[in-house]
Structure 1
């Protein structure tokens, strides 16, 4: 019912947006015969995903999912600053940064050592990026920790606070810092928070109460920010991955090989996800093709939550 391709008036609106020459009602060529007048149609969908010259940050991008998503944005033309805790970037990051540099055309991937739990420090770093680049467009808040596996009745306040400090406060600080720059330049923007399927359902047989609680909090944090920032054309959404095979999860699987089958069988697709399988949704949310999407959670979990 809402498709722009239905009805003659809507068809003409779509054709105008795409730069087509539409036949007039008196044209000898009937509408729908495949003729587009003097100019051939040119696809516009690729432009809607393009991020050329756009500037942003990805926290937790020294490795793993964060680095994979940072690379995706750079491939689309963006200048991305990766913020993570280590004082120097990992070998994986250096490899990806060199790859981005080799692509050229204004793409950039730079590393900044920073602690997302330090609100003022992150705010200052992101403000510096905005000042140097003269714009700010996209943010992916991907820094997070799993925390210890401790029975609920034994879980201490200190351990609980450490997980929430990174997974909730850190996401808040990152999104705040980005949002301030987006408001400063007045061009809107996209904030993407990495939540988890664990924020929607409980991981069976895993005592991850702090982690699961923190990811559920991220979902509500994004919804609140989406409501607050909408008038400034700043969109806020979340991505909720399921069990993804990364170097971090690989270490856990090496220690407990039986987990692989348990995790893989927990979703209808019967396998673990791969980091690159988050690239598409991150790219979509970052660009103009998702301009009417805010306050949404995109589950990338192989159907884990349907059971």
Structure 2
């Protein structure tokens, strides 16, 4: 009995009894009126988040989803001094949702560790908490033969796609640790971190995304005792502003990429909304150190 009591205490949901436990409680107490709790598990009510690469593309899509889930505020940052038209439209959209959520924007580079730490500390001072982080900033360069890849470009890609992810996760994780509530850190990797882009010389991109997968596992092991969960999310070929610019130069790749998965098409940015909300919320409280692949089944072949 003592062991069972300890297990129940360790694993208790912050939302109280759920599922079968809730049904048994209601059966024992007829005064209880059952109500659905599954959507409460996915809610991000009053939570504070940080999203790198949040000016457009996947980063903005995921930030908006978190606002729809009830986050108090999601701070997006990116390189441009002023946010894009897409970001402004999304901010205005969030303001009209009527759930007291808001989007904020600031300009910063993911490669400046100290500046990012300082800015996130200021956010912590203002909001009094930090609950989730989505490290989505990344760059893509034209493919170059691995034997000819220039050092400067290789370092640039790794600096943004690997080091920048770490610095973003550190910035948010430091605040999560400071407030002692735990949190969820989501590192945006890629299916390119676990498979090779066939026919494309993307050694810097593949290497950086592989580093992110290992980074998530390593950080999950270190931060678990602080109740900070760290997972990676690996999208397949998605049609974003970044890939659009790439496909505009090499349109033949559209059919190549589309036929590389059983779905026979590219993914939409909004097809990661549910997964990222799940990872940020209490619906995934026992998930850490995992890589969630959203690739249209590319890994199945």
TM-score by length of 1: 0.89
TM alignment of 1:165-204, pairs within 5 A: 165-204=159-198
Q: Determine whether 1:21 maps to 2:26.
A: yes
Match in the other structure for 1:30: none
8 A contact 1:74–1:100 mirrored in 2: yes
The unaligned stretches of length 5 or more in structure 2 are 1-16
Which of residues 19, 28, 50 in structure 2 aligns to 1:57?
50
Gaps (5+ residues) in structure 1? Answer: 1-11, 25-36
Distance 2:114 2:251 in 1: 42
1:149 corresponds in structure 2 to 143
**Residue 42 (str. 1) matches residue 35 (str. 2):** yes
Residue aligning to 1:122: 116
Q: Is the 8 A contact 1:56 1:138 kept in 2?
A: yes
Q: How big is the alpha-carbon RMSD for the aligned residues of Structure 1 and Structure 2?
A: 1.6
Aligned partner of 1:72 in structure 2 is: 65
Report 1:1-307 matches (<5 A). 14-17=19-22, 21-23=26-28, 37-78=30-71, 79-307=73-301
The list of structure 1 runs, each at least 4 consecutive aligned residues, that deviate by more than 4 angstroms after superposition, is 12-16
Task: State the distance in 1 between where 2:48 and 2:24 align.
Answer: 28
SS at match of 2:26: coil
Deviation of 1:168 after TM superposition, in Å, equals: 0.6
What is the rounded CA distance, in whole Å, between the counterparts of 1:155 and 1:247 in structure 2?
25
Bigger CA radius of gyration:
1
CA displacement at 1:253 relative to structure 2:
2.3
Query: How far off is 1:40 after superposition?
Result: 3.9
Q: Aligned partners of 2:54 and 2:280: how far apart in 1?
A: 16
Question: Do the aligned residues in 1 keep the contact of 2:183 with 2:228 (CA within 8 Å)?
Answer: yes
**CA-CA distance at 1:175 after TM superposition:** 0.3
